[in-house]
Structure 1
Amino acid sequence: MDATARVRAGWDWLKGPEPWTRRMLAGDLALATVAAVLGLGVEELDRGSGARMLASAVLVVALTLLRRRLPAATLVAGSALSAVLPGALLVTGLLGWSAGRRIEGVGRALAAFSLACVAAVGLGVVSESEMRPLLVIVFTTLLFIVTTVMPGLASRYWSQRRTLLRALQERNAQLMRERAMIAGQARLLERQRIAQDMHDSLGHQLALISVHTGALEVDPKLTDRQREAVGVLRQASVAAMHELREVVGILRDGVAAPVPVEEAAQPAARGVAGIAGVVESARGAGTPVGLATTGQPRPLVAACDHAAYRIVQEALTNAYKHAPGAAIAVELRYEDDSLVVEIANGPAAGPGAGEVVSGGQGLTGLRERARLVGGMVHAGPTEDGGFRVAGVLPYGAEPAGVEDAADDFGQRLRPHVLDGAPPMDWAAVDRELTVPSRSRAGGVAMGCGIAFAAGVLLLVALGVAIALMVGSFKDGMIDREEYDAVRIGTAEQEVRDRLPSGDSVLTSGLDRKGPTRPAGSECLAFLAADGPSDLGKDLVFRFCFADGKLVDKQAYEVKQ
């Protein structure tokens, strides 16, 4: 394996199972840089050496880049190193956030955080020799909870919430698809029922009309004019039967029913090509109808072609019923992007034939038919008292107005919402989100119990810390009378018995800030209980011992 392949393999290992984009890499490097710079400031305040500063910065960058691939290991390592290298303390929050999000299973996460806490506390006790071990344990534990555990809990909650929302989103989409399928099946069954009813009722009646008109047409008692009118009725009934067969086929199977070969040439085409036949039939019935075509004819898709035919047919029917004897003008205009079908009639030439039977749904059906193919229909009266119907139909199929179904969350179901997302592992989601309880009430009770126990433990820890702090303050402070009562040359054990232990965070390093200590001596420093009036300074009492007796005592002020 050459060097390039090894580098690529190492890079793939470092990325881990998550996709690591350039943006994410840049973000991780930025976080590592900020944490390293702030860590150098912490090391400078702690008077760390140059080698320790360099090691702290390198470790911060390495832990930040490895946290995606090894969340548990980096959490333990970072917590342990933060006890030795103060500059690595700031990266523990980032490691806790990453571990809380990426460690699968509550047991594994609890084990990783517990091991990290033990490592931080153990190394803190070993590395800190100037404080009491119990005080180090309390402070280190509280610091670990604040800087590591709390970011981990917040990250785990955020990650579980995001997983839950995504699972609900996908399950909602699945339910919406299933509901659409059920609705489609219900519509199909209803269409089949309607088709059967139409075939059984209308088909029978049209067949009787066709038979009776056919027999009446050959009656020798009829005049030529009457026989021609009966022939028109028979052709209309035959055409109605063909259209009924087509509609029944569409309702039942979703496709038009096949027309028999012997009947294929009889009915007019149900498209723009059939408009001339409809106009010619109207003229044969005695209605003055004119047909005009402008523009370059262009082919239309089947749905638009059929919609144009239906618009002309319905408009002519309305003109027959509501304006008998009026002249009708039919115009087809081929525009650049659409076909305009316009039918206009003048006012009625005379009184109507009485009450007109109308369902009132013709124009509504035309508008819906045009909308489904991306067009529109306008109908209204004209200035001269007539009526005008105009339809605009696109040449291509452009379904419009079909809105996405609203889901149960008040949102729209869009197929592209989850495009590109990996498939959901429902078993893993169930394991992650399942509450180990028998009932919802039990889960709530368990959660409340855990929260209460955690609150109690935190209050106990705070109480212990406050008590230790108060005791530490007492061990690190004396008044002026105690200082003056101690004489140089007194035995060391006698002096230590009279004074507090001095083991306090308040006195850490104070013995090295005053005057030069006697050679070979060991010093004990205290803060004055009644310090100077200057709030920026502290009064220190120092006692130095050598050869088992007090050899020097000093009182001096130091800056806080």
Structure 2
Amino acid sequence: MWPARRVVGETFLSLALALSGAGAELLDDESAGVAVGIGLLAGLLSLLRRGLPATVLLAAAAGSAPFSGFAPLLLVVAWSAGRRIDGLGRACGVFALAYGLALGLTAAWESHASLPLLAIAGMFILVAIVVPGLAGRYWSQRRALTDTLHEYNAQLLRERAMIVGQARMLERQRIAQDMHDSLGHQLALIAVHTGALEVDRELTGQQREAVGVLREASVAAMHELRDVVGVLRDGADANSPAGAPQGGDDPGAPSRGVAGIDDLAETSRKAGTAVEIRRSGEVRPLATTADHAAYRVVQEGLTNAHKHAPGASISIGLRYEPDSLVVEVANGPVAEPMPSGVASGGQGLTGLAERARLVGGMVHAGPTADGGFRLAGVLPYTSPGDARKTFVAPQDDFRAQSPAGPGGEAGPVIEWNGLPKELARAVNRTKRGNGIAIGCGVAALIGVVLVIAVVVGVVLLVREADKTMIEPAQYEAVKIGQSERSVRDALPHGDSFMNTGPGAGAPPEPDGSTCLTLLSSEIGSSLDADPVFRFCFKDGKLIEKKSFEAT
């Protein structure tokens, strides 16, 4: 079924061809009935040209000889046939048959026409049939090749995305296994030993409290390690619904979202650090990934404060803005300078910034006016898929690796050297077919131009010869004593580039006379001699006429 736009377009085209065909027949003084019939037939053939391209082309070519109303239709159906006739050989055969049919019927219909007129008509028929057909065929092959390349490009991108995804999954599984085997074992040993040390009777109350903090920290670290391993293995963190527990199946596991920030603060207080939490605004739920990112911002801020500013007071701020949650962790100035041997991985803030970017937020870190340090994160309430309400658009890592296209922008990846054999053969066949078709078209056009040039040259020569050449009978009809005016009116004026004068061997002209020299239509006695007629006038009368051969 045709779409509505094509139905409207085909209707208007059929009406235009029908009206043009009827109008052309009326201009040729045909009757109204014939004009209406030709118009209706042209409109009907236009509707059939998609399903029967070869048949409609032959019918239009045959009808264009006796009826000029089929001329506009012939251009349209030639274009359509060039697009829709399969196979180069079949297309060449159909177009050759159409041209022969149109030229033969034109010669039979215009039997009284001279050979030059038939040659010119043949050139026009050739241009009317071949040029639209070549243009339609080139457009069709180019579109088919472009569609094939687009399909192959889409398949290539899908395959590369699958390869990248599989490689990422394997690497994540390897990292998860290494973390589980190494860190899990070490954290389990720390938890066991601190648990045993906590019940040692020789410890004081303050020491036992410090050991309890270590044990809780090790247990929390084990839970976090299990969460990270789960995320690396199957992405459970990204797929879990908002508000779902982040600690796995253990109901006693700490929360890894905004709800777990109080536990982080309490753990720091047990370590002897003053921690204050300030909340403002109406509490709103966050997406799971953003909720986890807020927890990590506070965790990283507390870790950095304990590491680089021990003993300094820490303030945690949670501001619920209309479009985002602002999380701040700020510590006061350091009381004593820290020794240079404090270990720092240097990747915490970088990883935190990337985590925030992936959820459409941002992170800022820097010193405060009083000499302390501040870490802040802006996290949107919406998911990163809603680009209108996020602050930083998440990028597609795979697309970012695509090489720049012709315009300098990253575009789809097309490796021409890696085309599959089927597509390479299709491209080569299309190139050869286009080359043959274009070569034939160029040769035909050159032939048309040459033939038209020869015909025009012959016509010009005939016209120039009429200006300077007369028959012997015309020469005999002129009598001496006639008035100069009557003689000149009866003869050509002789103003032509072909009339070079009497030439060598001409007899002398009478004194005081004015002569008109014309060529004879007869052939001279030799290749170097031309028969010439000369008429000399004096006092308004013809006083002499001579016939001679001149070189």
Q: TM-score, normalised by structure 2?
A: 0.72
- Structure 2 counterpart of 1:498: none
State how 1:378-417 maps to structure 2 within 5 Å.
378-399=364-385, 400-403=393-396, 405=399, 407=402, 410=405
The SS at the match of 2:236 is coil
SS in 2 for 1:84: coil
| C-alpha separation in 2, matches of 1:112 and 1:32 | 23
Determine which of 474, 478, 489 is the counterpart of 1:484: 474
The Cα of 1:79 is off from its aligned counterpart by 1.5
Change (3 A) 1:206 1:108: same
Counterparts of 1:258 and 1:280, CA distance in 2: 19
* Alpha-carbon displacement from aligned partner over 1:192-225 (angstroms, at most 9, x marks no partner): 1111211222122222222332333233332221
Cα deviation code 1:499-540 (max 9, x no counterpart): xxxxxxxxxxxxxxxxxxxxxxxxxxxxx994799xxxxxxx
1:343 to 310, 317, 329: 329
For residues 42 and 108 of structure 1, do their structure 2 counterparts lie closer, same or farther at Cα, with a shift above 3 Å needed? same
Counterpart residue number, 1:280: 266
- 2:152 equivalent to 1:171: yes
Q: State whether structure 2 residue 316 is matched by structure 1 residue 316.
A: no
Counterpart of 1:116?
Answer: 98
Mapped to 2, the partners of 1:188 and 1:428 lie a distance apart of 32
Kindly report which structure 2 residues correspond to 1:523-542, keeping only aligned pairs within 5 A, or say none: 530=492
Letter in 2 for 1:21: A
Partner deviation per Cα, 1:7-40 (whole Å, 9 max, x = no partner): xxxxx6xxxxxx3433x44444555565566656
Task: Kindly provide the CA deviation profile for residues 116-149 of structure 1, in whole angstroms up to 9, marking residues without a partner as x.
Answer: 11220121011001124x6566434322221121
Q: Are the counterparts in 1 of residues 403 and 411 from structure 2 also a CA contact under 8 Å?
A: no
Is the partner of 2:376 in helix, strand or coil? Answer: strand
Secondary structure at 1:339's aligned position in 2? strand
Name the SS of the counterpart of 1:243 in structure 2.
Answer: helix
Matched with 2:528 is none
Aligned length: 454
Partner of 1:206: 187
Give 1:225's aligned residue.
Answer: 206
Structure 1 stretch displaced more, 217-226 or 115-124: 217-226
* Residue type at the aligned position of 2:64: S
SS at match of 2:315: strand
User: How has the CA–CA distance of structure 1 residues 91 and 431 changed in structure 2, closer, same or farther, with 3 Å as cutoff?
Assistant: farther
Relative distance call for 1:283 and 1:347 in structure 2 (3 A) is same
1:141 paired with 2:122, answer yes
In the alignment, the residues of structure 2 paired with residue 135 and residue 167 of structure 1 have an alpha-carbon distance, to the nearest angstrom, of: 47
Q: 2:190 corresponds to which letter in structure 1?
A: I
How far apart, in 2, do the equivalents of 1:146 and 1:117 lie? Answer: 10
User: What is the CA distance between 1:297 and its match in structure 2?
Assistant: 1.9
Quote the Cα distance in structure 2 between the aligned partners of 1:72 and 1:430. 30
State whether structure 2 residue 58 is matched by structure 1 residue 84.
no
SS at match of 2:229: helix
Q: Distance in 1 between matches of 2:321 and 2:280?
A: 9
SS in 1 for 2:50: coil
Determine helix, strand or coil for the equivalent of 1:131.
coil
Match of 1:352 among 323, 338, 346: 338
1:125 is aligned, of 86, 94, 107, to 107
1:453 and 1:343, CA in 2 relative to 1: closer, same or farther beyond 3 A? closer
Change in 2 beyond 3 A, CA 1:321/1:452? closer
CA 1:227–1:106: 2 relative to 1, 3 Å: same
Task: Give the partner amino acid of 1:271.
Answer: G
Q: Does the C-alpha gap of structure 1 residues 394 and 201 become closer, same or farther in structure 2, counting only changes over 3 Å? A: same
> In the aligned structure 2, how far is the partner of 1:303 from the partner of 1:32?
60
Question: Is 1:124–1:136's contact at 8 Å kept on the other side of the alignment?
Answer: no
Q: TM-score, normalised by structure 1?
A: 0.71
* 2:161 alignment partner, SS class: helix
The change in CA–CA distance for 1:295 and 1:467 in structure 2 (over 3 A counts) is: closer
- Taking structure 1 as reference, are residues 354 and 264 closer, same or farther at Cα in structure 2, changes over 3 Å only? farther
Q: Using the aligned pairs only, state the percent identity.
A: 50
Q: Deviations over 1:473-496 (max 9, x none)?
A: 888986544563799xxxxxxxxx
Q: Which of 178, 186, 189 is matched with 1:197 structurally?
A: 178
Which of 86, 89, 97 is the aligned partner of 1:107? 89
Listed as ranges, the gaps of 5+ residues in structure 1 are: 1-11, 13-18, 415-425, 437-442, 488-527, 534-560
Q: Distance in 1 between matches of 2:427 and 2:214?
A: 72
Amino acid at match of 2:95: F
C-alpha deviation, 1:183, in angstroms = 0.6
1:173–1:413 Cα contact (<8 Å) kept = no
Alpha-carbon RMSD across the aligned residues, in angstroms, is: 3.7
The answer on whether the counterparts of 1:328 and 1:346 sit within 8 Å (CA) in structure 2 is yes
Q: Which residue of 1 aligns with 2:544?
A: none
Residue 328 (str. 1) matches residue 314 (str. 2):
yes
- In structure 2, give the amino acid aligned to 1:221: E
Q: Which residue type is aligned with residue 143 of structure 1?
A: F
Distance in 2, matches of 1:95 and 1:239, equals 79
Task: Give yes or no for contact 2:362–2:379 (8 Å, CA) kept in 1.
Answer: yes
CA distance in 2 between counterparts of 1:51 and 1:384 reads 101
> What aligned pairs does 1:521-560 form with structure 2 within 5 A after superposition?
530=492
Note closer, same or farther for the CA distance 1:357–1:259 as it changes in structure 2 (3 Å cut): same
Query: Which amino acid in structure 1 is aligned with residue 251 of structure 2?
Result: A
The aligned amino acid for 2:394 is G
User: Which residue is equivalent to 1:181?
Assistant: 162
Report the alpha carbon displacement of residue 187 of structure 1 after superposing the two structures with TM.
0.8
Distance (Å, rounded) in 2 between the aligned partners of 1:100 and 1:208 = 80
Instruction: Say which SS state the counterpart of residue 309 (structure 1) adopts.
Output: helix
Does the aligned pair in 2 maintain the 1:59–1:88 contact within 8 Å?
A: no
CA distance in 1, matches of 2:283, 2:457: 99
Q: CA deviation at 1:313?
A: 0.7
Conservation of the 8 A alpha-carbon contact between 2:134 and 2:437: no
In the superposition, relative to structure 1, how do residues 222 and 353 fare at CA in structure 2: closer, same or farther (>3 Å)?
farther
State the Cα deviation string for residues 248-271 of structure 1 (Å, max 9, x = none): 12212322699686x531x32111
Query: Quick one: distance in 2 between partners of 1:300 and 1:458?
Result: 71
Distance 1:77 1:482 in 2: 52
Other structure's SS at 2:266 match? helix
Measured in 2, the distance between the counterparts of 1:49 and 1:482 equals 48
Task: Report the secondary structure of 1:90's partner residue.
Answer: helix
Could you tell me whether the CA contact under 8 Å between 1:279 and 1:289 is conserved in 2?
A: yes
TM superposition shift of 1:291: 0.9
Are 2:46 and 2:73, in contact at CA under 8 Å, matched by a contact in 1?
Answer: yes
In structure 2, the residue matched to 1:94 is: 76
Contact 2:247 2:254 in 1 (8 A): no
Greater mean alpha carbon deviation, residues 475-484 or residues 375-384: 475-484
Query: Aligned partners of 2:444 and 2:491: how far apart in 1?
Result: 33
Go from structure 1 to structure 2 and tell me whether the alpha carbon gap of 1:408 and 1:164 turns closer, same or farther (over 3 Å shift).
Answer: farther
Conserved? CA contact 2:318–2:326, under 8 Å: yes
| Residue identity opposite 1:264 in structure 2 | P
Deviation at 1:449, TM superposition (A): 7.2
Residues 130 and 441, structure 2, Cα contact 8 Å, conserved in 1: no
